[in-house]
Amino acid sequence: MKTKTIISIVVYAVLLVVVLGVVAFVFAYINNGQKNFYVQYGDEKISHKLENVELEKNATSLFYCKNVLGITDKQEQATNFTVRVQANSEALSEYDFTGFTLDGKTKDFFKGTDITNGFDIQLGEGYFTLYLPETLTLMSVLEKVYPDAEIAGVPEVDLYAKECLSLIVYCEQEKATVTIGFH
């Protein structure tokens, strides 16, 4: 009888240690810089950064924003996120922007320029879409960003030629940012 009781206690103790270990591992994983938030484009799951993504032209691309620890489809959906488009200053550095002006005033294009308004982005419950036209030039984007301004000195840049743009997806709840460089 005593042997059976001792074996039962040992089994319960081992099970308790295993369960506590799994819980500790999950918390350590999340709190060790690993975020619960990621963006899925096609089969690609992006938790931090992905470069050189070629998006379809004259089409709408669908991106899902998800939580790693979601058990059901509803729990998996991330809901508190923002999306913006930013110019890749490194890729555009070979172009001459010294003459770039808005309403006659010189502007430094590369200082964190948010050009989101130059794109058709729709946010939904757990996803967002981005429409890209057949042709996309820097001038066409800037004309949408600054619709009432006189724009001058913009070099001719085909934004599909190389990775000149980045999607920045930010999840407020996780304080996590996912960057997708695209062309």
Mean pLDDT (the chain) is 84
Closest among 116, 105, 110 to 94, alpha carbons compared: 110
Please give the distance of CA 132 from its chain centroid, rounded to a whole number. 17
Check: CB of residue 164 under 8 Å from CB of residue 88.
yes
| Whether 178 contacts 38, CB under 8 Å | yes
**19 and 78 in one domain?**
no
Q: Is the pLDDT of residue 28 over 60?
A: no
68 and 46 fall within a common domain: yes
Say if residue 9 is exposed, middle or buried (CB neighbours under 10 Å; 0-12, 13-18, 19+). exposed
61 plus 82 within the same structural domain: yes
Instruction: Place 150 in a pLDDT band, splitting at 50, 70 and 90.
Output: very high
Q: What is the pLDDT of residue 25?
A: 62
- Out of 22-36, 106-120, 147-161, least confident range: 22-36
Q: What is the 3-state secondary structure (H, E, C) of the chain?
A: CHHHHHHHHHHHHHHHHHHHHHHHHHHHHHHCCCCCEEEEECCEEECCEEEEECCCCCEEEEEEEEECCCCCHHHHECCCEEEEEEECHHHHCCCCCCCCEECCEECCCCCCCECHHHCEEEEECCEEEEEECCCCEHHHHHHHHCCCCCEECCCCCECCCCCCEEEEEEECCCCEEEEEEEC
Q: How far apart are CA 166 and CA 115, in angstroms?
A: 10
Q: Domain of residue 76: give its range.
A: 36-182
Pair 15, 58 in one domain? no
Same domain, 4 and 82: no
Residues 57 and 128 in one domain: yes
Give the number of domains in the chain: 2
Examine the domain organization and report whether 5 and 48 are in the same domain. no
120 and 53 share one domain:
yes
Tokens at 158, concatenated: 């085909």
- Verify that 46 and 135 share a domain, yes or no: yes
Same domain? For 79 and 169 the reply is yes
Residues 76 and 19 in one domain: no
Share of the chain above pLDDT 70, in %: 86
> Contact, 128 vs 121, CB < 8 A?
yes
Same domain? For 170 and 95 the reply is yes
| CA distance linking residue 24 with residue 11, whole number of Å | 20
Q: What is the pLDDT of residue 86?
A: 92
